[in-house]
């Protein structure tokens, strides 16, 4: 496949639609409402039609809203509206005013309040506002209010991570990941509404977390309640779903993309410089020169902790390299290299969806059929980023 295929906006749109088509129509839950996210990544069969994870719900709303924006299939609008209604009326806890983390059908299974999940509610609502879905603006205001009223800590300019279901106490843990996605959500909310408070908050998060906490191009994941790095957190649980121990190259390139996105709206030299440093750190310490792909995590001596390769990290690298190429064309080499690896190892040739993870050598793992939180969000978001870059900068197509 020609490298220019990876840069052609029309062909990129086709890739985006293939991911959406993998999930539709089986993702529509006609029994309980909302989405079925647990579709087998190899053949697409539903293996759990009951469990509803807040993050999966929000990401699917976002995905189908992106489909509307990109002139995708006609089903996108009704499907996005379907999910937004479920988020608003079922995930939402009217008594305590927050989103329940996991549902069984329509009943709460896990009510813990996570900043990470509420950040994705902001993202979902913002993308829905951007494409004019009914009630999206009210949901954006509600989700933002909870995020700011319950999690935001003005002394640090960042968000706490977790609270009990009744909002009586915040946990001591503070995390990079939730704040990164809060920054992403605030940028989306600013673009959807034009309201500067969202852009201001995105800039505040980036400044407090990335500008103040990078160490030689590295960004640690885990902190205590004073935002002091906790280098022991989860060191015995390196494969934790949301909080693995170690540096994550995938998050370094994800921040590259976000800092450059922020720079588009509020240019500052440090944003481009730091974005470049984070990307270079990711490829120097996290890229597997023998088999390709980013190691999931590396230790403080740049040695792999988990050598598995995750599809989301490569997808984020694609978005990051596309944005970097606007400032330095040489990053198109990484853009093409990442797509080559993705097509060879991560993209399901049958359906066009992306595998969640593979071994270091690129082999699919034994199927575990866990609760799904990734219904194509990372590929769709970063394909969309690449489309934006190449449409705005046609010279990069040459």
**In the block, residue with structure tokens 């082999």:** 363
Bridge partners (DSSP) of residue 53 are: 102
Residues 259-283 as b/e (b if ≥16 CB within 10 A, e otherwise) read: bbbbbeeeeeeebbebbbbbbebbb
Bridge partners (DSSP) of residue 46 are: 39
Of 81, 116, 109, nearest in space to 93 by CA? 109
Termini Cα distance of the chain: 16
| Residues 309 and 357 sit within 8 Å (Cβ to Cβ) | yes
Burial class for 73, CB neighbours closer than 10 Å (0-12, 13-18, 19+): middle
Dihedrals phi, psi of 294, to nearest 5 degrees: -90, 135
Residue 82: active-site member: no
Taking the C-alpha atoms of residue 264 and residue 324, their distance in angstroms, rounded to an integer, is 12
Chain-centroid distance, C-alpha 87: 18
Taking the C-alpha atoms of residue 205 and residue 156, their distance in angstroms, rounded to an integer, is 9
Of 176, 190, 193, 179, nearest in space to 262 by CA? 190
Taking the C-alpha atoms of residue 78 and residue 65, their distance in angstroms, rounded to an integer, is 10
Residue among 251, 252, 261, 263 flagged as catalytic: 251
Pairing relationship of beta strands 107-110 and 92-93 according to DSSP bridges: unpaired
Chain-centroid distance, C-alpha 289: 25
CA angle 210, 218, 202 (to 5 degrees): 20
Residue 89: active-site member: no
What residues are annotated to the active site? 251, 378
């Amino acid at each position: 496949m020609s490298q220019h295929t990876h840069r052609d906006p029309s062909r990129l749109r086709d890739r985006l639609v293939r991911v959406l088509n993998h999930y539709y129509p089986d993702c529509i839950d006609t029994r309980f409402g909302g989405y079925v996210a647990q579709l087998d990544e190899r053949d697409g069969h539903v293996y759990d039609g009951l469990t509803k994870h807040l993050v999966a719900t929000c990401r699917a709303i976002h995905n189908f809203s992106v489909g509307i924006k990109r002139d995708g299939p006609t089903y996108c609008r009704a499907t996005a509206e379907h999910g937004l209604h479920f988020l608003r009326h079922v995930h939402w806890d009217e008594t305590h005013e927050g989103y329940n983390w996991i549902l069984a059908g329509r009943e709460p299974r896990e009510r813990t309040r996570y900043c990470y999940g509420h950040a994705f509610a902001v993202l979902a609502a913002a993308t829905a506002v951007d494409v004019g879905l009914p009630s999206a603006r009210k949901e954006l205001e509600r989700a933002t209010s909870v995020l700011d009223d319950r999690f935001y800590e003005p002394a640090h300019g960042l968000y706490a991570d977790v609270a009990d279901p009744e909002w009586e106490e915040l946990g001591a843990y503070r995390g990079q990941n939730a704040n990164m996605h809060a920054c992403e959500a605030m940028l989306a909310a600013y673009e959807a509404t034009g309201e500067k408070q969202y852009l201001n908050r995105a800039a505040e998060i980036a400044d407090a977390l990335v500008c103040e906490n990078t160490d030689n191009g590295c960004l640690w994941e885990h902190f205590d309640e004073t935002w002091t790095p906790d280098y022991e957190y989860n060191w015995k649980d390196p494969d934790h779903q949301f909080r693995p121990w170690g540096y994550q190259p995938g998050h370094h390139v994800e921040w590259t993309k976000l800092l450059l996105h922020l720079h588009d709206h509020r240019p500052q030299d440090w944003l481009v410089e730091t974005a470049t440093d984070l990307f270079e750190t990711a490829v120097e310490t996290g890229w597997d020169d023998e088999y390709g792909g980013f190691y999931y995590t590396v230790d403080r001596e740049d040695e792999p902790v988990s050598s598995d390769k995750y599809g989301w990290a490569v997808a984020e690298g694609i978005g990051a390299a596309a944005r970097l190429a606007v400032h330095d064309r040489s990053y198109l080499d990484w853009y093409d290299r990442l797509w080559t690896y993705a097509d060879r190892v991560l993209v399901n040739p049958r359906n066009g969806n992306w595998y969640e993870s593979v071994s270091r050598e690129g082999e699919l793992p034994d199927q575990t059929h866990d609760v799904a939180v990734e219904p194509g969000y990372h590929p769709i978001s970063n394909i969309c980023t690449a489309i934006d870059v190449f449409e705005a900068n046609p010279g990069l197509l040459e």
